[in-house]
Each structure stands twice: as C-alpha cells, then as structure tokens.
Structure 1
Amino acid sequence: MSELTAPSWLLRIPEVFAPFAKEILAGLSASPLKELGSDYHLVRLENPALLQESEWAKFVGWNLPVHHAWPCNPQKMDGFIEKAAQGLARKFADVSPQTLLTGPLQTAVAHPYYKHLATNLRGRALQLFPPLPAVAEVESQDPAAPTLFCLLGKEGLFAGLQSPRLANGFYPGGTKFISQSAGISRAGAKLAEALHHLLLHRQPPPQGARWLELGASPGGMTSELLARGYQVTAVDRADLDASLKRKPGLEFIRRDVDAFRPEPRDRFDALLCDMNGDPRVALRQVLRLAANVQTGGLIIFTLKGAGAETASELNAISRACVSYAGTAGVELLSETHLTYNRHEFTLFFEVTR
C-alpha cells in the first residue's frame, strides 16, 4: 500500500451540504478537479491527514485515495468488464487487500446499469486476484485493514486502497443505505445506520444492554433498539406510537427530560439523544444523565444545526459541544453525517470517568 501514490482523492460531500462545498474544500486545503456522480468531488489534497484530523472532515461522508482511474463511459465501451478487471489485477493483485468491493458512483438509488456492472466487475476481478482473506459480510471487515474499493459511473472507474475506518464507511461510497419505509419514523433508520457506523470504532452494546433514550417520541429509535434485543427506558413529554404499548423490554416515562431524575443506583449501558432544539441545551441534559451510564458506556447524540447558516457556524457549535463533553469525562469517538441527518451530525461518545 505504501508503494502506491494517489494523485487525487474522491470526497463525498452530502447534498445537504452542497451550498457549503466550496467552504468545506477550502477548509481541507483541497483543490477541486471535477464534480462526479451525485455528490462526489475529485480533488487534490495538500495534506490528506486533514481528512482525519480537521474539524472539516465531518462534512465528508466518505473518502477514497484514487490509486487507479480510468476515465471513460462504460456504457459505450465494448468489453469494459474484462478490460477493467485486468486493469485492477495489474495494479492491485500484489498488495493483498482484505477484500474487493465495487459500487456505483451514487449514494442513494443508483442507476440499475451501474449496480449490475459493479457486481459483474467484482466477480470477474476476484477470479484474477490471488485468493483474498475471507470476508463473509461487508461489516465483518477489519475496520483498520486496507480494502480495495472501486466505484463506477458514466465518468469512468475510480479505485483505491483505504481502510474502512479511514474511508468512513464499510461500503463503497459510505454507509449501508437503510430504508425508512417500514418504521415508525425515519429516526429508526437513522439509528440503524448509526449503529452500523459505530462498528468502525467499537462494538455496540450486547443484547440485553440497558439504554436510556431522551426525547423518544414518537418511538422510531425506541422500536429499533427493542428489535435488537435491548432494554429501553424512554423519556419524553409526548406519547410514543401506539404500536409500542406494552412492548417487552420497554419502560416509558412521560416527563420532560429536564425533570427526569433517575436514582443514583439506576445504571445504563448506553444513552441515546435525538432531541430537537439547541444542541447545547440538549447536551447539558445528556451530560447530567451520563452520571448514570457505566464507565465505558456509549452515548449517541444528534447535534442539531440550531439555525447555523454556514459550515463555519456548524463547526463552532460542534467545537463547543465536544469541549463541553470533555469536561464531564465523556470522550468523542466519532462525528459523522448519516444519510438521514439533515443539517446535523451524529456524535459517538464513550464515558471515560
């Protein structure tokens, strides 16, 4: 991997942040080359470390060093799959990635042609590579080991080696798309995606763990937690969806969060907060109740945009919240933008006090 050079990078900036793209790229010292797909930017990076270290990194949903590119229109090229597979084998067969994953240069509902093309390219390329370490499922990858990612679109083929953790997702292009159609609200899909993202950094709480959920109504996230075998104490001044009444494992407390006072001996393994309003106000309640979370426990917190009109303003809000959490013995693991986030970020904390 160290012998490969990446003259350019693919950065995915979610559509909701498109008006801030110029500001975000400037913050990352990125020189734009071309816009690709639905929300990809092909750029040159002066300092790739900024993708992990800069406060601007959270605006990039997924990133990939482009070690191999083939600008072309696959639909108009005879024998594209065979030529592309041979090219990938020549470039990467000797560097032993943990697996090869291909996908369309889209982030939501991709064109069927490119989904089919990506599947066929992966199958043919794997025939040309030496046997790769077994990866039964995408999520079973080692988040710290290099994966060969390859994205395809009408602009061509873009491939590179990157660990899922550094890329910010196990899948080509980011996290697994999870439909919200069957749940109580889109919040359930947002939590499912959040728990998927968490695997990049640590294991989620085991089945049977106790969660404290703040601002739970109408219960989309509550339902998702219960479906995963968790015990949930849900707090909100508004009722939960009727389908959740008398659900095993659920304790619902109808009360304002700021009036909720659990007993000191009442302990939780994780805390979840997706409350609306000023995130600094919500975080104050989270940190107060973090005293009831076990050391090593998890906190998932949605940081709302609170009317911020620029990326710099969002950064300032985030910076203040992370600093405040640190004073309470709560350490940031990751901050990212999920598919169902709007002008907001999902923050993952670990209780270290």
Structure 2
Amino acid sequence: MKTCESESSNPFAFATCQAGAEIALKAEVARLGSDIRAAFSRPGFVTFKLPADYPLSNPFHPNSVFAQTTGRSLGSVHCDATTSGANQVWNLVQNQRVHHLHTWQRNTRKSPVNPVTPLASAIGQQLLAHLPSDRAPLPLNQIAQRGQRILDCVLVEPGEWWIGSHVANNVPSRWPGGVIHRELPAHAVSRAYLKMWAALQWSGLSITAGDRCVELGSAPGGSSQALLDRGVQVTGIDPADMDETVLAHPDFTHLKMRGAELKRRAFRAFRWLVADANVAPKHTLDTVEQIVTYPGVPIRGLLLTLKLLQWNLAAQVPTWIERIRSWGYRHVRARQLASGGQEICIAAMRHRSLKRIGNARRS
C-alpha cells in the first residue's frame, strides 16, 4: 500500500446509516429519480453518483428516513500515516469555506451509539494540527448552528477516510455523524431513556413541564423517565412490570393493561401520545388510530416507534406517513434514530406551532 493517496469524487454524494439499512437507504434514494445511482458501499456507508447537472447548492436528500448524515463527497484518502493523510484531506477541500470539522467512524453492527470514537477524535486533532495557515481555526465535533457548513471526515476503515461537506439544515445534520447522543444518566433504568431523549431532540415537539402524556408500551420505564425529567406527567400503559424507581415518581401512573383495553374516552385527559411496543407496525398504527380519531380526544402530537421486523417493511414508510396524516396530523416525519434498533421513529403534529423553537440541547 502506498504511504498515502487521495482520489477526488465529483459529482458524488455520500450518506451514512445504521449498519444493515443500506438496502432501505438505496431504495429510498432511488425514488428520488433514476439518474441518481448507488456506487461505493460498505455497511453503514453509501455513495451515490449524481447527474452532471446536479446543482452544487442543492443539499443531498436532507429529509432521508434512513440516512444519518448526507453530503457532497469531495473524495477519499487511503493512508497508513495520519500526518500525511491530513495534508491530503486539505488538498481535497481546496478553497471551500467550512465552519466546523466532524470526524467519526461508520456504523457497524458492533459500533457504539456515539460514532465519535477515540480514533476519530485523534484523527480530527491531526487534521486541525495540519490546518492550512490561511484558514481560521475550526471547532472539532461540536454541534453546529443552522446554516453553517461542516467538513465531514468519515472513517470507513482506520486507513480509509471519505471526505465531504454538508450544510446544517436540520437538527441531526448539526451533530457529528448525524447522531443525536448523550451518555446514559446514572438513574436511567434502561437505554430506552436515550431513545426518547433523542426522539425529543430530533422532533422538536414542544412537550413541556406540566403536560400530560400517555405512553403505550412503557415497561420497564426508561422512556418514561426521559419525559418525567422534563417535568411531564406520564401515564404508562403496559401489562409488564415497571421499574420500582419509576413507579415511585409522583408524576407517573401505571395502568397494567394493553392500550387497546383502555376505554377510548379515558384518552381525553392527554395532550401527547408516545408508543414503543414490540409488535408489528400495523398493530401499533391500528391501536393509535382508534385512540386519536375517537371524538373529543385532544392528542396534539405523537411519537411512534415502528419496528421493522423485516427490512422490506421499509417500503411501506410513505404509506404509514400518509395514514397518520389522514388522522388530522398535518406535519409528519420519520427517521431511523441511531439510538434505536431496526425501527423508525415517527413524529406527528396537528399544527406546526406545536414544534419547539430553538437549538438542540445536550441535556
């Protein structure tokens, strides 16, 4: 292997995703148009050949369900020496203006949720150490502000880096690797806490202190805790046992039953509904539809986790979104969150005014 070599790749785009979601991502992009074609691919990383007339100012698929980060590819660096590789990276960037540097590793089935590994951080530090003298200092792996351009360095392999850039135009695109992440709090009873926390950050739903929320599939209580920590009053519906810590919280009520067993009029007391049950998507959607379409039920917004028991279910995501819109929720989005498994999260609001205004928060 040569000490270091680089290769430009215009006009190409790149996308990172959860390992295993590549087929779903490629199918999703194929629906954008037959002139965009999948090219180089590894688990958790895919590049796409763009048509020659693809406008440089156009973001690449910013509202993807299955991509965590997307951007325009500048090329790749194959290197067995970090110092030499850093110089090759800046040669690819040329005179493009950037405001942040994000370095992270592609997702594999054994990857941690946070893609900013020690190796990725070390390579990022090397890139900054070799920053050309005519460039202003760049923050490394920090949350960008909306509208800022980010230089992306994706570690496909330790000695194979793919370089690209994107503009932060939504909450995930501001985070390194598009992964909304925090450490699991010591008091959390399960990792579902992180799933709910990330879903709230991504969706921007204005679920605030004092609001009443019902959760279908609440056991053992990790996601309930994330809501309770925001001051929300939570009623959890689940036939399984809740953790004693959650049961002891003064703002939590447990109904030990299935959501379909509770009388529909009882849901008139709630403003928000969240659901994360280990059942087929149709079952979750059928249950939620019966609740939110019942006369007088004022559910303003939804956070639904739908399990993709097989990857071919990904093709039904557009149909699911339209079904939820038919219930009166005008603003519906879906995303596969890095903190979840083979599933998607759907956020739905009756009105856009129910979306929280402001920057993503770490806590």
TM-score by length of 2: 0.75
- Find the aligned partners of 1:117 and 1:136 in 2 and give their Cα distance: 11
Residue 64 of structure 1 aligns to a residue whose secondary structure is strand
Deviation, structure 1 residue 180: 5.3
| 1:279-294 correspondence runs (5 A) | 279-290=281-292, 292-293=297-298
Equivalent residue for 2:48?
43
Structure 1 position 118, deviation (Å): 1.2
CA drift at 1:301? 0.4
Matches of 2:221 and 2:266, distance apart in 1: 26
2:336 aligned residue: 337
Alpha-carbon contact 1:102-1:122 (below 8 Å) kept? no
For the Cα contact (< 8 Å) 1:86–1:128, is it kept in 2?
no
Choose the corresponding residue for 1:196, options 192, 201, 205.
Answer: 201
2:48 maps to 1:34: no
CA distance in structure 1 between the aligned counterparts of 2:304 and 2:122, rounded to whole angstroms: 37
CA 1:163–1:136: 2 relative to 1, 3 Å: closer
Matching residue within 237, 242, 245 for 2:244: 242
CA distance in 1, matches of 2:76, 2:190: 41
Deviation track 1:267-313 (CA, whole Å, cap 9, x = no partner) reads: 4332111122232222233233335335xx321001122x4452xx4
Aligned residues: CA RMSD: 3.6
Aligned-partner SS, 1:169: helix
- How far is 1:250 from its partner? 1.0
Q: CA deviation at 1:322?
A: 2.0
Q: Percent sequence identity over matched residues?
A: 18
Q: 2:23 & 2:41 partners in 1: Cα distance? A: 14
Are the aligned partners of 2:100 and 2:140 in contact in 1 as well (CA < 8 Å)?
Answer: no
Residue 176 (1) aligns with residue 186 (2): no
- CA pair 248-87 structure 1, distance change in 2 beyond 3 A: same
Q: Per-residue displacement from partner, 1:48-84 (whole Å, max 9, x unpaired)?
A: 788257xxx4232321112x335231x4254544664
- The residue that corresponds to 2:166 in the other structure is 161
User: d(CA) in 2 for partners of 1:78 and 1:324?
Assistant: 53
Query: After the TM superposition, which of the residue ranges 171-180 and 185-194 deviates more from structure 2?
Result: 171-180
Alignment partner of 2:327: what SS? coil
Q: Deviations over 1:114-141 (max 9, x none)?
A: 3212145357659854589x99961x72
Residue type at the aligned position of 1:184 = V
**Residue among 193, 202, 215 paired with 1:213:** 215
Seen in structure 2, the aligned counterparts of structure 1 residues 309 and 150 have a Cα distance that, compared at 3 Å, is: closer
Which position in structure 2 is the counterpart of 1:225? 227
The answer on 1:60 being equivalent to 2:63 is: no
1:314 aligns to what?
Answer: 314
After the TM superposition, which of the residue ranges 150-159 and 245-254 deviates more from structure 2? 150-159
Q: Measure the CA separation in 1 of the matches of 2:65 and 2:100.
A: 25
- Give SS of 1:15's match: coil
Alignment CA distance shift 1:214-1:308 (3 Å):
same
Q: Equivalents in 2 of 1:270, 1:15: separation in Å?
A: 32
Quickly say closer, same or farther: Cα 1:34–1:135, change in 2 above 3 A: closer
Distance 1:50 1:114 in 2: 24
Question: For residues 240 and 265 of structure 1, what CA distance do their matches in structure 2 show?
Answer: 21
Structure-2 residue corresponding to 1:302 = 305
Q: For residue 264 of structure 1, report the CA deviation from its aligned partner.
A: 6.8
Q: Residues of 1 paired with 2:18 and 2:60: CA distance?
A: 18
Greater Cα offset, 117-126 or 213-222: 117-126
1:341, CA displacement in angstroms?
2.9
Whether the 8 Å CA contact 2:103–2:141 is kept in 1: the answer is no
For 1:69, the equivalent position in structure 2 comes to 75
Q: Does the Cα contact within 8 Å between 2:214 and 2:273 map onto a contact in 1?
A: yes
2:3 match: none
Paired with 1:150 and 1:210, the residues of 2 have a C-alpha distance of 40
Question: What is the CA–CA distance in structure 1 between the aligned matches of 2:264 and 2:129, rounded to whole Å?
Answer: 54
Unaligned runs of 5+ in 1: none
Separation in structure 1 between the aligned mates of residue 154 and residue 105 of structure 2, nearest angstrom: 5
Distance 1:21 1:213, change over 3 A: closer
Contact persistence 1:63–1:168 (CA under 8 A): no
The aligned counterpart of 1:148 is: 150
Unaligned runs of 5+ in 2: 1-8, 353-363
Could you tell me how far 1:251 is from its partner in structure 2? 1.8
Q: Give the Å deviation of 1:32.
A: 3.3
**1:247–1:27 CA distance, 2 compared to 1 (3 A):** same
* 1:116 match: 122
Amino acid across the alignment from 2:273? L
The 1-side partners of 2:45 and 2:211 are apart by: 38
Residue 207 of structure 1: how far off its partner (Å): 2.9
Shift in alpha-carbon separation, 1:35–1:265, aligned structure 2, 3 A: closer
C-alpha distance in 2, partners of 1:265/1:35? 46
Describe the shift of the 1:147–1:195 C-alpha distance in structure 2 as closer, same or farther (beyond 3 A).
farther
Local SS of the residue matching 2:346: strand
1-structure distance, mates of 2:106, 2:89: 19
Alignment CA distance shift 1:335-1:131 (3 Å): same
**1:212–1:234 CA contact under 8 A, matched in 2:** yes
| Alpha-carbon displacement from aligned partner over 1:240-269 (angstroms, at most 9, x marks no partner) | 112212202112222221122365794433
The 1:34–1:219 alpha-carbon spacing in structure 2 relative to 1, beyond 3 Å, is same
